[in-house]
Amino acid sequence: TRSTRPQRMLKAVQKNATKGNPKSVISAIDYFCKHSEWAMNVGDEKGSILDSVVTEVNPSTVLELGTYCGYSTVRIARLLSPGTKLITLEFNPANAAVAKQIIAYAGLQDKVILVEGSSGDLIPQMKERFGITTFDFIFLDHWKDRYLPDIKLFEECGLLRKGSVLLADNVICPGTPEYLEYVRKSPRYESKYFPAHLEYTKVEDGLEKSVFLG
Ligand SMILES: CNc1ncnc2c1ncn2[C@@H]1O[C@H](/C=C/CNC(=O)c2cc(-c3ccc(F)cc3)cc(O)c2O)[C@H](F)[C@H]1O
Ligand SMILES: [Mg+2]
């Protein structure tokens, strides 16, 4: 049967990237998406903003919602200090299987805990399963209508502390209007918009960085 786009992306990584070299894996995926097939990775322009926020926060506890093929997982994990691991949630087994291989190809498997399942089910389990008290950094890039319910879940589960940073992809395209209204209106968050473009296109998009004020 015909391969899937994530499988073709993995093939492109195995063909064009250097094993153990995260930068070459990132470049191979960006090249594939620019010249072969568009895919919903955060991409190089927004990815650079992601890099700068991760570097600034230098988090000890990290969560990503929506692994997809692992592109942003590789971008984040490559910047983490030794001994720090990122937890990434993906509920589609086929995506998780590809992501696992792309993360391993980058040599970052020891810095990533990929959990198969839905954020709605897994967020309440973070404390008991992974010994997390609070997250320093959260990257939201899963179904856009789940950003708001999930941030409320973080609050209810006591997973945010004064200074926790949430970075949300696609707040313009496809758009997350309810989430944006919530973080921008709530007195409990300090929010800032980083303008950019939809990955591999000229369409306007951007990232919203929201700091929990406690
Ligand atoms: C709901 N809880 C979940 N828990 C675990 N994994 C999940 C959950 N929900 C989804 N997943 C998992 O997270 C991924 C989903 C990513 C969704 N991303 C997008 O739709 C998305 C769309 C565009 C886009 C823009 C313009 C256009 F013309 C077409 C597309 C651009 C983007 O950057 C995106 O991120 C994965 F597929 C799904 O299994
Ligand atoms: Mg996205």
Query: Among the options 90, 141, 150, 208, which is catalytic?
Result: 141
Tell me whether 0.95 is exceeded by the ipTM.
yes
Query: Among the options 90, 144, 208, 209, which is catalytic?
Result: 144
Indicate whether this model's pTM tops 0.80. Answer: yes
DSSP string of 24-70? HHHHHHHHHHHHT----S-HHHHHHHHHHHHHHH--SSEEEE--TTS
- DSSP at 3: P
pLDDT tens digits, residue range 56-91?
999 999 999 999 999 999 999 999 999 999 999 999
pLDDT tens digits, residue range 180-191?
999 999 999 999
Joined tokens for residue 162: 């004064």
Is there an atom of ligand 1 within 6 Å of 143 CB?
Answer: yes
Task: Kindly report the protein residue whose alpha carbon is nearest to atom 29 of ligand 1.
Answer: 174
Q: Can you tell me the distance from the alpha carbon of 197 to that of 147, in angstroms, rounded to the nearest whole number?
A: 20
- DSSP at 18: P
Query: What is residue 1's predicted lDDT score, i.e. its pLDDT?
Result: 81
